[in-house]
Amino acid sequence: MIPLLGLVLGLVLGRVFGLSAPLWLAPYLPIAVVAALDAVFGGLRARLDQVFSDRVFVVSFIGNVVVAVVIVFLGDRLGVGGQLSTAVVVVLGIRIFSNAAAIRRHLFRA
């Protein structure tokens, strides 16, 4: 419940204050958001599986974001930025889908 409120609060704050990302961060924000989303879905699934651990969640959240951003950053430096970012997004997407499927099975027994 509280985390949900936190999410909503974050959205509202971002909207209300009209914040825009700083230039050095702007290219990597989308990847970071998707990575965070993957961690959140993972956390939700863990919760439903009754194996949620806050420590695991926090670490996986931060870890996902850092790894994704670092990979894309390195890729840009190496000149394979486009391909690597695609790869990262694809993998994160697969994980999100599989977590979402698990959650769906829990919630709807289907």
Partner 1 sequence: MRRLWSSLLAPRGWRTDIPVALLALLLGLGFAVTVRTERSPTGLVAARPDQLATILSDLGARNQQLQAGIGQLQMQADALAGGDAAAALDTARQRAQQLGILAGTLGARGSGVVITVTDPARSVGAAILLDAIEELRDAGAEAIDLSGVRVVTSSSVVPAADGTGLDVDGITVRAPYRLSAIGDPQTLDEALAIPGGVVDTVRRAAGATVEVARRSQVTITSLRALQTPRYARPDPAAGSP
Q: Is 67 in the site for partner 1 (CB under 8 A)?
A: no
Q: Is 40 in the site for partner 1 (CB under 8 A)?
A: yes
In the complex, the smallest distance separating the C-beta of residue 100 from partner 1, rounded to whole angstroms, is 14
E strand or H helix that includes residue 107? helix 81-108
Q: Which residue has the tokens 């994160």?
A: 92
Q: Is 48 in the site for partner 1 (CB under 8 A)?
A: yes
Q: Do 67 and 87 touch, CB atoms closer than 8 A?
A: no
DSSP sequence for 60-104: HHHHHHHHHHHHHHHHHHHT-HHHHHHHHHHHHHHHHHHHHHHHH
Q: Is 30 in the site for partner 1 (CB under 8 A)?
A: yes
The letter for the amino acid at 38 is: D
Q: Is 63 in the site for partner 1 (CB under 8 A)?
A: no
Q: Is 51 in the site for partner 1 (CB under 8 A)?
A: no
In the complex, the smallest distance separating the C-beta of residue 34 from partner 1, rounded to whole angstroms, is 9
Distance CA 9, CA 76 (A): 33
Residues that bind partner 1 (CB under 8 A): 1-15, 18-21, 23, 26-30, 32-33, 36-37, 39-40, 43-44, 47-48, 52, 54, 57-58, 61-62, 72, 75-76, 79, 81-82, 85, 106-109
